[in-house]
Structure 1
Amino acid sequence: MRMARVGVILDRRVAERRWQYGLNSFAYYMEEVLQHAGIPFERMDEIESLPEQAYDLVIAALVPDDAASASLLRSYMEQGGTVIACSGLNVLAAGLGAVPLPPTGPGYAFFEKGDLTSIRYSRAYPWQVGTDNEHVADETGVLRKERPDGTVHGAAKQTFRIGKGLLERWAIDLCSTIVELQQGTGPVLGDGEPAPDGSAAINEGILKADDRMAVDWGHDRLLTETGQPYIAYPYADYWRELFIGHLLQAALDKGLALPVVGLWPEGVERVAMISHDSDLNEDIHAESTLKLLAECGIHSTWCMIEPGYSAAIYDQVKEAGHELAFHYNALDEQGGKWEENEFDRQLAWLKEAAALETVASNKNHYTRFEGWGELFAWCEKGGIQSDQTRGPSKKGNVGFLFGTCHPFFPIAWSGDRNRMYDVLEIGFLTQDLDLASYWADSSIIKPFLDGVARVNGVAHFLFHQVHIHNSETVRAAFRRVVEEAQDRGFVFWTGQQINNWERVRRNIALCPSDDRGNPIMLTGEAPEGAVIWIPVPESYTQLEGEELAVHYGVTCRKLSAAKLANPV
């Protein structure tokens, strides 16, 4: 099969108009969704260039809502093209016998088929169609207002026939939904609303990442067998999986292949990570932690807060193969400040104290956070490539608080023209387990690992050195995390390892090659162990020695990136 050519319309004039009035164009996050999956695509900054291209699939991410654009899209589809949209395109509704309904959200999209059933969304813009509409080829899922069992408010996805082609329209504003789940419903300017059951008093007067969380206390938490509440669903990961799976299938329906890059290298199905925050900074705490890590045979990420440990401890951490990272302190009651100069000063202290030329990772003390993207901008300037601040600050909001367990690059607010920050976010699931009644108990280990395994993400657990030293129950929970993770096939990496891998795998560029749809490398060297997955139709006959697996809900065959980069 030939490899599909995908175009993404992100019309710059629409974005500029929105930015002029301080409005976000989170549609630009579509590129991050595709890049994370490793799908090759081309951006169109002007919709007028559509007729000049020969795209097999077009993602209408940001399109002018005018007659000229409608005409261009209709002409493309009438000639056999497929357009995929996530909300928008109301200008096409009337010609398809559809009526745009009032926007809805937040709410839940309910799907009867597959294992992804009820998924939270931020906003949706459904269309109403009659039962005898000749243009409608299919409707998938329903939107429910406010709650999983709420009032139905239109279809989640509709397929329309237009000439020889198709319009595949998701009602959900997928990009805004993913962004708000991962980065919050807006800038952190004040306290958030606490959990009604008293388990997560996030309104304690300290601004933090979880003060603008997009999940719901009532509908998005479950209880373990011990009664421990946890946020149970990585909704942003679910939306990515559904959308990418839809895109792959849309290509297959046209007899085309659309390759994806494996999330992890050959032999690694999923990754676990343990980080520590040095906090009270006593050497004996570090020594106990080093001993436990050696016993378990894993490496971890050590986030250091001023004044830190003695120089001898830093040497031991390095020699043992662990990562030394930054733990920025902006907690006012401890003399910290939310200021770029203070961030820079503390980072300079760490480099000097630990004899580090560069620092790859950061996690803010107490998950302290303000605004929207200031922290990421400071990290960029300071050469920090990865952040780990987005995680729970309370017992009652542990889990998939920010809708994802995958590493992702965050997007800026409208004032910075919705650019992508060059900082990889690797959020965490929980802090110290079985620490009396202060933090979650170890009953959440299994659901967390199973939830991460479901989407092949990163199971990131945070353990403070002071609690590892002082508490046998915390040490036992630590051992249990390692044992149960390894039993499920997780491999433990440091934050720096995850960052390095995610960046090199995104450098893989693919283009068409032979008549079986095999891609080749366009630029750079293939990272060791990198794998390419090529979707195949149901009728595909497996070759001897060939490996098939399901990715994004689609059967794919496995190819080595190294062999493709150097074909024999």
Structure 2
Amino acid sequence: MQAVKIGLWLNRNAAEYHWKHGQNIFQLYIEEILSHAGIPYRLFDQAEQLHAYRPDIIVNVLAGERDEDLDRLLQWAQDGAVVIAYGGLNRLASRMGCVEVGCREAVYAEIEGMESFLQEKLLRALCSQPWLPSNRHEKSGSLLAEAQGKLRLGKAGSELGAASLTFRIGSGKLIRWNVDIPSTVVFLQQGRGPVYQDGIPAEDGTGGIDEGILKADDGMEVDWKEDRILSDSNIPYFSIPYGDLWREVIVHELMKEAEGLGLALPFLDYWPRGIEQVALISHDSDFNSEEAARTTLELLKECGVRSTWCMIEPGYSRKMYDMITDAGHELAFHFNALEAESGIWSQDEFSRQLQHLRQASGADIVSNKNHYTRFEGWGELFRWCEAEGIQADQTRGPSKKGNVGFPFGTAHPYYPIARAGERNRLYDVLQVGFLTQDLEHPMLPDMSVIEPFLQAVKGVRGVAHFLFHQQHIHHIDGVREAFRAVVGQAKSLGYTFWTCAEITSWEQARRNARLSVDANGALEAGQLPDGAVIRYFQHPHAGLENDSKRDRYGLPCPEWSGMIKGAAERTR
């Protein structure tokens, strides 16, 4: 079984020019998307190296604007490669018989042929650059593109062109998406820019994020009207993990294109063997009541789950910390930068509070969640985490009753990207966002959101992260019942409960695995973590029995059955 060779093309000269002028290359986020999906690829910034490898599929990150740069892409297609571009290539439009249409608004994409996992959802796109066939294409002799899907201004709005266009060139093809998918995923997860002012509140009064406190959700890029639906008890929530579905669109297409070339696309599955999706329970210790801590420990024991305890200064006694860790729970940091509580948004204060917790608890603190989801800027928090050995952050979640669910478009752990000043590197801090806080609290949603949240996260095989404060568990009967309901329903749907530290450790092990395809199409693997499963897309006509646990990205994906060079090498 021969594996497909995927190459990412980054014109180094063009990239340096962009960074020199402070321009982001968020298209580089395709690396994080493929890495999290466990797909082997190689990034090339020298054309000679790409030519030597001869990828079967070439994903354009940044080609450059010169004629010779664009000619190079077309030649690769002419020679038989599938070249995929997510937006960009604007100077190529007229040569392909098209004209670019200006669009600065968010649009919704209708994707054809992927209904099996998109469930006919319209996907919100935040960075679209539509090409339309020009009425001059016949005169120019250009081939008319094959259009796929539609873009709309609003879910019920006017049509703005196709979602993607395919041009047959020689023995290969150019697929040009009218959506910059990597940048769209970045904007959904991290916002369009730094947080420096309040966000826009919901007109119905359910999402008052303009209260004068800078928070993660001040930068959210979903729409209050278009992207929320009501639960059975009329609780509004953001129902669709748009970013995760866009990731799946990318992988689904790569699999189908590989199949069209007669090749297989291997990938390292999201979770270890026997685990389909993960649930995470975290707590914020806000009032530091040890009586509330004991009530929480009893409830966790009753439900048979372990959780992550985010501790705010001054915290608990050493005896209580020992009780928490002896029961198998994780101690984490709860950074307080809330001005109303004399908090300060600074690296020195972050470091001081963290060192206090480490000394007081004696624990190895590896994850953090900011008090009140306090957040500002773009990458400051992540740089502080890197400097202090914090490996995961949980801050990106809703702060209001009306924006629970998927305000950041994802249920998956991911590594955030830096801006141009840091050359769009990935921060070495895993982000694990949450869905909601303290269900059945009088100021927060009720239990009607549990089932839709769990089903949506299960649909993308992500992390269903619920936050419950110890104080509310102790004082409010309804919150305790909601906790029991979350655990019971999650277990009935096949969720496995992990702490944030366990999620982080597994994701780090996956990323450290070596999965690559050599120049001859042979799959190479090394440092695979225990339980890791390598899969690939196998067309249904191959006689594969229907088994939903093998379905990935809307396609049947059994375990890799071909030769793997170096597969015996594993880590623990």
**TM-score > 0.5 by shorter chain:** yes
The CA distance in 2 between the partners of 1:104 and 1:248, in whole Å, is 31
Find the counterpart in structure 1 of residue 423 from structure 2: 417
Counterparts of 2:93 and 2:66, CA distance in 1 = 12
Tell me how far apart the structure 2 counterparts of residues 197 and 273 of structure 1 sit (CA, whole Å).
Answer: 31
2:243 pairs with one of 221, 236, 247: 236
Determine what percentage of the aligned residue pairs are the same residue.
48
- 1:119 lines up with 2:120 in the alignment: no
**How far, CA to CA, are the matches of 1:513 and 1:11 in structure 2?**
22
Q: Aligned equivalents of 1:548 and 1:4: distance in 2?
A: 24
1:539 alignment partner in structure 2? 541
Distance 1:101 1:442 in 2: 45
Q: Which has the higher mean CA deviation after the structures are superposed, 109-118 or 210-219?
A: 109-118
Q: Which residue of 2 aligns with 1:377?
A: 383
Deviation at 1:309, TM superposition (A): 0.9
- Quote the Cα distance in structure 1 between the aligned partners of 2:311 and 2:257: 48
User: Whole-Å Cα distance in 2 between the matches of residues 566 and 18 of structure 1?
Assistant: 43
Residue aligned with 2:187, SS: helix
Alignment correspondent of 1:265: 272
Q: Distance in 2 between matches of 1:51 and 1:503?
A: 32
Is residue 187 of structure 1 aligned with residue 194 of structure 2? yes
Gaps in structure 2 of 5+ consecutive residues: none
Give SS of 1:539's match. helix
* Structure 1 residue 291 displacement after superposition: 0.2
Q: AA paired with 1:462?
A: L
Using a 3 Å threshold, how does the CA distance of structure 1 residues 245 and 69 change in structure 2: closer, same or farther? same
Distance apart, 1:289 and its partner CA: 0.2
Deviations 1:439-490 (A, max 9, x none): 1111100110011011000000000000000011000000000000000000
Aligned to 2:559: 558
- 1:33-182 correspondence to structure 2 within 5 Å: 33-47=33-47, 49-113=49-113, 114=115, 115-129=119-133, 135-136=143-144, 138-145=146-153, 147-182=154-189
The code of the aligned residue for 1:389 comes to T
Residue range with higher mean Cα deviation, 403-412 or 148-157 = 148-157
Deviation string 1:94-152 (CA, Å, 9 cap, x unpaired) is: 2221222223431111235412430001111111115987634531111112x111121
Aligned to 1:390: 396
1:509 to partner: Cα distance: 2.0
1:529 is matched with which residue? 531
Partner-residue secondary structure (3-state), 2:320: helix
Does the aligned pair in 2 maintain the 1:245–1:553 contact within 8 Å? Answer: yes
CA distance in structure 2 between the aligned counterparts of 1:479 and 1:375, rounded to whole angstroms: 33
Match of 1:483 among 484, 488, 500: 488
- The alignment covers a number of residue pairs equal to 560
Taking the aligned partners of 2:410 and 2:285, their CA distance within structure 1 comes to 26
Instruction: Flag the 1:469–1:30 CA change in 2: closer, same or farther, 3 A.
Output: same
Q: Which piece of structure 1 moves more, 168-177 or 420-429?
A: 168-177
Cα displacement (A) at 1:566:
2.2
> Residues 564 and 249 (structure 1 numbering): CA distance in 2 closer, same or farther, change over 3 Å?
farther
Kept in 1: contact 2:99–2:134 (CA 8 A): no
SS at the partner of 1:226? coil
Q: How does 1:214-293 map to 2 (within 5 A)?
A: 214-293=221-300
Letter of the structure 1 residue corresponding to residue 148 of structure 2: T
Q: What is the CA-CA distance between 1:290 and the residue it aligns to?
A: 0.2
Paired letter, 1:553 = G
Using the size of structure 1 for normalisation, the TM-score is 0.95
Distance 1:514 1:104 in 2: 41
Q: Distance in 2 between matches of 1:30 and 1:514?
A: 22
1:408-487 matched pairs, under 5 angstroms = 408-436=414-442, 438-487=443-492
Residue by residue over 1:513-555, the C-alpha shift from the partner in whole angstroms, topping out at 9 and shown as x without a partner, is 899x87341x32x211110111123432449x99982211222
**C-alpha contact (below 8 Å) 2:54/2:519 kept by paired residues:** no
User: 1:79 deviation in Å?
Assistant: 1.3
Structure 2 CA distance, aligned partners of 1:469 and 1:507? 41
Give the deviation of 1:262 after TM superposition. Answer: 0.6
Secondary structure in structure 1 of the residue aligned to 2:99: strand
Bigger mean CA deviation after superposition, 154-163 or 20-29? 20-29
Alpha-carbon shift at residue 344 of structure 1 (Å) = 0.2
Aligned residue for 1:85, secondary structure, equals strand
| Aligned Cα root-mean-square deviation (Å) | 2.2
Counterpart residue number, 1:203: 210
Distance 1:40 1:234 in 2: 24
**1:432–1:464 contact (8 Å) kept in structure 2:** yes
Give the C-alpha shift of residue 394 in structure 1: 0.5
Aligned partners of 2:436 and 2:374: how far apart in 1? Answer: 15
Aligned counterparts of 2:541 and 2:92: Cα–Cα separation in 1: 35
**So what's the TM-score if we normalise by structure 2?**
0.94
Aligned to 1:336: 343
Tell me how far apart the structure 2 counterparts of residues 189 and 511 of structure 1 sit (CA, whole Å): 41
